[in-house]
Amino acid sequence: MRVPLSWLVEYLDLSSLTPYQPFTATFSDAFIDEVTEGLNELGMVVEGVERVSTGLDNVVVAEVLEIEDIEGADHIRKVLVTSDESEPVTVVCGAYNFEVGDKVPFAKVGAVLPGGFAISRRKMKGITSNGMLCSAKEVGLAEDSAGLMVLPEDLSTGALFGEAIGIFDDVVYDLAIEANRPDANSIIGVARDLAPRLGVSFVPPSWSKDLRPSEERDLLELEHSEIVDPDLATRATLALLEAPLRLKESPKIHRRLRLAGMRPISDVVDASNYAMLEYGFPSHPYDYDKVRGGGIRVRVATEAEELRTLDGSLRQLLPSQGGHSGDIVITDLSDTPIGLAGVMGGESSEISASTTRVLLELIAFNRKAIARTSKRLNLRSEASMRFERGVDPAATISVLHRICDLLSTEPISIFDFGDTDPHRRTVEVRVSRVREILGVSELDGRAISLLLAPIGFEVQANGDLLMVRVPTFRPDCETEIDVIEEIARHFGYKKIQGEVAKSPYVGRLTDEQKVQRQLRLLLRDLGIHEAITSTLYARHDHQEVGVEDHPLEVSNPLSQDEVALRMTMLPGHLKALSYNLSRRIDTFSFFEIGRVVSLGESLTYDGLPNERVRVAALVSDKENGAERATQLLSVLLDFFSVDPSVLYSQPSKDTLSSRYGRFPVLHSGRRGGIYDHNGEVLGVVGELSPQLTKRVVEPLSKFRYGWLEFDLEAMLSLSKRAKEAQEISNYTSTDLDLSFEVPESVSAFEVVRLVREVAGELVSSAQVFDVFRSDKLPQGTKSVGVRLRLERLDRPLGERDIKEIIKEAGAAASTELKGTLRDHK
Amino acid sequence: MLNNEDLGSLLRRCDEIEESFCVEIDAVSTLEELVELERRFLGKGGEISSVSRQIAGLESDDKRTFGQRIGSLRQRIEDGVSQSKIELEAEETSKREEQEAVDLTQYLVFIDTPKLGSLHLVTQAKQELEDIFVGMGYQVAEGPEVETEWHNFEALNIPKFHPARDGQDSFFIDHPDGDYGSLLLRTHTSPMQVRLMQSGELPIYAVIPGKVFRRDTPDARHTPNFHQIEGLVVDKGITMGHLSGTVGAFTKAYFGSNIEARLRPAYFPFTEPSAEFEITCTVCLGEGCRTCSSTGWIELGGCGMVHPNVFSAVGIDPETYTGFAFGFGIDRLVQMKYAISDMRVFLDNDVRFLSQFKGVQ
């Protein structure tokens, strides 16, 4: 809402504020700031303060004394004018629409007009022009104009032009009005709310004349108008005005409309818009002779109706269906739609220069009905916005009055129907509750009443209970808490004494939150950067990483690239990878802890899909992404205290989905799956598939990328954290290296597991130190070297212990692995 | 009993041994030579032991004299050897150090020297905020990103066609409606407030950080997914004074003691009275600058007293309990703190951006 200060102060009695001289002086900086602060503290947030000058400093009212042709010039004439100087001056002028005796705006030498055009002394065809006679456009009062602006005769010659026509330098406040303040979408509403903050009185508008419709004419048709569905509107005031209708003080009205962000259109529309800005109540003019039957109806659109609106579009109207109410329309008495109520008028009944009678419609429409229609058609206007927030049903007569006043007319007929005396809601408010909510003990019934009275709330006190009558322009105030907010606003939020709320709890993070933090630090310390990737992807992004299941999809995406909710974190990291590779950055690793979601029931929340917290990492390596990723997994298994036996190498891709969601399909020769005790996959590790490497990586880098992704909760559930300290041996440990010749199909991990089983309690660690293949080994076999660290708690390890282990390892290798123990035969 | 030599010649023999040791020890240049020298003089069958054997043929008085001389000679040799050993070892050590000398600066700059990774700025801010509230006795709660319309809107006093839904254009999920309406990507972290309150454990002192979604085309100040943190307190006797005091305390804890917070009226359907909270501009400290449009204040977030309708929706008696809530965007906070001109940098995950903010901040 743009509020010109000159307009606002028309409704404030500033006589108590000194020094203040309305209209003749510019506003002082202190006053402008005080208004800004007041508006902000009342929640009408000032988003901008614009100082607007008229640009009319050296423009005066001049009277034309003589007009002479110039020899040899067809398009200019020599004009003698008198203004505020002792002697008349000569001006060369190209307009022909004026006569001797006319009064016109005269820009003297030195004037800088609103468009930035500086006036200097010029010579044309030998004649010196001492300034310029101006058109309405040149003085900033019209978008377009033909010829000079000929002024009313009663303006005094030599007067400052701006002052004479009622426009001044001004200040415009750009206010953000909240949805619960329909009253503040109007100049009067802002003034009413601001007045007590400034310590001044609010001056409600008044008019010189009463509305007295002429009773001579018989216009019974108008009284056939009706609100067909009472849910759509509560009150209607219709008035007939007789053309021609002329806007009085039009330069002032036009300027204010412009300052408020609206464009002047025609005298009737401008009057309607001006009154809307002032009161917050929109009205709509119809060409009465084009309204069939002479009356209107408010109803919901029916099947197959259409309407050409003022913007020229033919709109298909939506009837009610399946419990949803349809578009709200205005029809004539032949029941043909002639307007989208409160949203946009129809073309067929638009007023024009030939209109002889104007039907003015002021209807208090239902908020929701207008919201539905304007939202459905995506048509937002100053009018629909105000109806959606709620207009004051009591205001129709005042607004009509104002419009008539602006057009210097009286209605020839008025039909006011529906709820013509809107009820003022009474809300019970307890003083004790006000204190409980605000924490302000000094507020009593009297103090509350003093805060509420200036903004139109009447308070009747009865001990703790206050009966508060809410003004009709505050439809948002329905309950006690709504009134308490008004009390708080006018008491002043900053006067509420702050006190820290004391929690009875000792704050702490949950175990899972702590693990997440430690995990983040671990990954960071391993040199990995944390990324945060998007949740939404294109449909094919999942297929590309081998996840074929149907994802959850957004029904109203912004683009087709952001439709599918991620089921795995890989698509986001591929995008980040591409982005960085294309900037020649290839040595980096990313990790992310975030949520994925797939179809299926949530294991935590009823009625929600299966949303899980995942840990993922993308790691780079010169030749083997799987090695890097699996090394990272090894550190993480250590971190989580999870036994390495959860990893299976080269799992089939059918096993990569489980209650924990879906996992991407990696390089079939370089991937592993992590499985829980029930054989459900909870994670994957390995290298990006060759297709992905080929498409994303190879054009830009020779690196290989490894991927690790697992379900955090499932991983934690496998954790076997030591509950108590383990005893350590007092005796020196012994290392024993055993090399096995085993078939290719036997994994290194199986060899280690076998050795561990054989050595039992004596093993403190078992690691592979070497895997090799050679011509000297039989075809299809490999050698796996395992280093055991052995110790006993009860005594030093003896020769016999070691011989025993070697013997059993040899036997077990041949029976369980179809292999042999080398060197120790 | 043999008397091959008299005491005098034996003592002379001792002097000769000592002299020859003194000459030889000076010539020793390695530890190996020293060991050999030590063996020749002090070892089995060495000089000392062979001359000492002669003691048997001496008179008892002479025995004592000779014994003392042998003792002093042995001491002299042992001292000489150990002195030399120390010198030789020191020499050897310094020689080795010379040979093993390296330029350490290279390890700082080698291509494969391990590097520190980084935590995302949003994570860093989120953790710092969480820590402040944990210190104030709050729990940290996290909830689902896919929510129901009821939890995201209805329970928060935002019925269908409410004007407040306009500003929060949501991503709806293509999924059959359940008991709680359609599914959508949560537009704020507030549905988790609803879940916390529904759990029935009172009082509540909690903060809720998380990812949220708005159907906004990305620009310098908006991305379709971003992060919020919000606080919820539900207890007996909670007032707007508590809201104001708590927001102020948090502001000082996070931004510094010179940063103030203030509330000004605003509208949110789920709180009433509602407020925006502004803080002293962190750039100009209230003097007025471009960041704060010369006002000295910057808007941080929204807050207010929990609306009685919200309490009713989750089954808490608003006459017994009152509460407040507040919330703000973490990404926006980070954008302000690090003077990031365009929010879209968060969408790219550019390593050059992410790796700037690591270690001690």
Q: How far apart are CA A637 and CA A590, in angstroms?
A: 18
**Residue B148 vs residues A558, A602, B181, B199: alpha-carbon distances, Å:** 20, 13, 6, 17
* Residue pair A41/A494 in contact by the 8 Å Cβ criterion: yes
DSSP state string for A649-692: ES--GGGSEETTEE-----TTSEEEEE-TTS-EEEEEEE--HHH
User: Quick one: tokens of A258?
Assistant: 């412009």
Cβ separation of A556 and B173 shorter than 8 Å?
no
- Residues of chain A neighbouring B145 (CB-CB closer than 8 A): 535, 595, 597, 611
Is A429 strand, coil or helix? strand
CA–CA min distance A699, chain B (Å): 19
pLDDT score for A214: 57
Place of tokens 């010189």: A208
pLDDT band at A825 (very low <50, low <70, confident <90, very high): very low
Cβ separation of B266 and A178 shorter than 8 Å?
yes
* Residue pair B172/A564 in contact by the 8 Å Cβ criterion: no
Print burial letters for A652-662: b (CB count within 10 Å at least 16), e (below 16): ebeebbbbbbb
- Residues of chain B neighbouring A524 (CB-CB closer than 8 A): 116-119, 358
Q: How far apart are CA A259 and CA A45, in angstroms?
A: 18
Q: Strand pairing of A89-93 and A77-82?
A: antiparallel
Higher pLDDT, A112 or B130: B130
Based on C-alpha coordinates, what's the Rg of chain A?
Answer: 42
Chain B segment 272-331 residues within 8 A of A by beta carbon are 272-276, 305, 307-308, 322, 324
pLDDT band at B251 (very low <50, low <70, confident <90, very high): very high
Please report, rounded to a whole number, the percentage of residues in chain A having pLDDT higher than 90.
69
- List A735's β-bridge partners, or say none: A789
Q: How far apart are CA A70 and CA A125, in angstroms?
A: 8
DSSP, res B156: G
CA–CA min distance B140, chain A (Å): 6
Q: How far apart are CA B20 and CA B42, in angstroms?
A: 13
Best mutation target, A32, A380, A499, A508, to test chain B (most B CBs within 10 A): A499
> Could you tell me how far CA A587 lies from the centroid of its own chain?
38
* Residue pair B190/B307 in contact by the 8 Å Cβ criterion: no
pLDDT at B5 over 70: no
pLDDT band at A113 (very low <50, low <70, confident <90, very high): confident
Place of tokens 């103030």: B260
Determine phi and psi for B24, rounding to 5 degrees: -70, -35
pLDDT at A734 over 80: yes
Each domain of chain B, given as residue ranges in start order, spans 4-101, 121-357
Is A452 strand, coil or helix? helix
| pLDDT digits 0-9 by tens, B204-240 | 999 999 999 998 888 877 788 899 999 999 999 999 9
- List A159's β-bridge partners, or say none: none
Which of A389, A498, A503 lies closest to B138 in CB terms?
A: A503
- Count other Cβ atoms within 10 Å, centred on residue B338: 11
Q: Strand pairing of B139-140 and B204-213?
A: parallel
Query: What average pLDDT does the segment A650-676 reach?
Result: 94
- Residues of chain B neighbouring A554 (CB-CB closer than 8 A): 171-174, 185
pLDDT score for A18: 60
* Residue A40 forms contact with B (CB below 8 Å): yes
Beta strand segments in A431-479, E: 458-462, 465-469
Give the residue on B whose Cα is nearest the Cα of A372: B161
CA–CA min distance B196, chain A (Å): 12
Query: What average pLDDT does the segment B332-348 reach?
Result: 87
| pLDDT digits 0-9 by tens, A798-812 | 899 999 999 999 999
- Residues of chain A neighbouring B144 (CB-CB closer than 8 A): 595, 602, 604-605, 608, 611
* Residue pair A11/A202 in contact by the 8 Å Cβ criterion: yes
Place of tokens 């090894």: A634
DSSP H/E element including B226:
strand B225-235
* Residue B12 forms contact with A (CB below 8 Å): no
Which of A43, A501, A513 lies closest to B246 in CB terms?
A: A501
| pLDDT digits 0-9 by tens, A598-636 | 988 888 888 899 999 999 999 999 999 999 999 999 999
* Residue B354 forms contact with A (CB below 8 Å): yes
* Residue B264 forms contact with A (CB below 8 Å): yes
Query: What average pLDDT does the segment A294-321 reach?
Result: 91
Based on C-alpha coordinates, what's the Rg of chain B?
Answer: 43
pLDDT at B291 over 70: yes
End-to-end CA distance of chain B: 92
pLDDT band at A404 (very low <50, low <70, confident <90, very high): very high
Nearest one of A822, A809, A737, A755 to A782, comparing CA atoms: A822
Cβ neighbours for B152, distance < 8 A, ≥ 6 positions apart: B170, B184, B186, B187, B188, B190, B191
pLDDT band at B168 (very low <50, low <70, confident <90, very high): low
Cβ separation of A494 and B147 shorter than 8 Å?
no
DSSP, res A695: I
What is the Cβ-side half-sphere exposure of residue A678, based on CA atoms within 13 angstroms?
7
| pLDDT digits 0-9 by tens, A190-247 | 999 999 999 999 998 876 556 665 555 556 788 899 999 899 999 999 999 998 899 9
Cβ separation of A527 and B116 shorter than 8 Å?
yes
pLDDT at A24 over 80: no
| Mean pLDDT across chain A | 91
* Residue B5 forms contact with A (CB below 8 Å): no
Adjacency order of strands within the sheet including A77-82: A89-93, A77-82, A59-69, A103-107, A132-133
Cα A313–Cα A314–Cα A315 angle in degrees, nearest 5: 105
* Residue pair A660/A648 in contact by the 8 Å Cβ criterion: no
Cβ separation of B144 and A605 shorter than 8 Å?
yes
User: Quick one: tokens of B1?
Assistant: 């009993």
pLDDT at B165 over 80: no
pLDDT at B354 over 50: yes
- Residues of chain A neighbouring B172 (CB-CB closer than 8 A): 554-556
* Residue A635 forms contact with B (CB below 8 Å): no
Amino acid identity for residue A208 in this structure: S
Which of B265, B276, B322 lies closest to A489 in CB terms?
A: B265
Query: What average pLDDT does the segment B279-301 reach?
Result: 86
Q: How far apart are CA A534 and CA A28, in angstroms?
A: 51
Amino acid identity for residue A112 in this structure: V
Chain A segment 51-80 residues within 8 A of B by beta carbon are none
Cβ separation of A488 and B233 shorter than 8 Å?
no
Cβ separation of B144 and A510 shorter than 8 Å?
no
pLDDT band at B2 (very low <50, low <70, confident <90, very high): very low
* Residue B41 forms contact with A (CB below 8 Å): no
Torsion of CA A500, A503, A509, A510, to 10 degrees: -150
Furthest-apart CA pair in chain B: how many Å?
Answer: 131
Does the domain at B121-357 match CATH 3.30.930.10? Answer given as yes
Nearest one of A525, A533, A524, A455 to A488, comparing CA atoms: A455
Nearest one of A424, A67, A362, A371 to A225, comparing CA atoms: A362
What is the Cβ-side half-sphere exposure of residue B245, based on CA atoms within 13 angstroms?
16
pLDDT score for A787: 94
pLDDT band at A284 (very low <50, low <70, confident <90, very high): very high
**C-beta pairs of B72-76 under 8 Å, 24+ apart in sequence:** B73/B14, B73/B17, B73/B18, B73/B48, B74/B42, B74/B48, B76/B18, B76/B21
Cβ separation of B267 and A181 shorter than 8 Å?
yes
Cβ neighbours for A538, distance < 8 A, ≥ 6 positions apart: A560, A561, A562, A563, A564
Determine phi and psi for B275, rounding to 5 degrees: -150, 155
* Residue A32 forms contact with B (CB below 8 Å): no
Q: How far apart are CA A611 and CA A712, in angstroms?
A: 12
DSSP state string for B90-136: HHHHHHHHHHT---THHHHH-TTS----B--HHHHHHHHHHHHHHHT
pLDDT score for B344: 87
DSSP, res B287: S
Give this complex's ipTM: 0.86
Q: Strand pairing of A296-300 and A226-227?
A: parallel
Q: For A248-267, what is the HEC assignment? A: CCHHHHHHHHHHCCCCCCCH
Query: What average pLDDT does the segment A658-678 reach?
Result: 95
- Residues of chain B neighbouring A474 (CB-CB closer than 8 A): none
- Residues of chain A neighbouring B349 (CB-CB closer than 8 A): 531-533, 575-576, 579-580, 590
pLDDT score for B190: 95
User: Quick one: tokens of A50?
Assistant: 């614009």
| pLDDT digits 0-9 by tens, A472-518 | 999 989 999 999 999 999 999 999 999 999 999 999 999 999 999 99
CA–CA min distance A129, chain B (Å): 45
> Could you tell me how far CA A139 lies from the centroid of its own chain?
39
pLDDT at B1 over 50: no
pLDDT at B39 over 50: yes
* Residue B267 forms contact with A (CB below 8 Å): yes
Cβ neighbours for A761, distance < 8 A, ≥ 6 positions apart: none
Cβ neighbours for B99, distance < 8 A, ≥ 6 positions apart: none
* Residue pair B111/A479 in contact by the 8 Å Cβ criterion: no
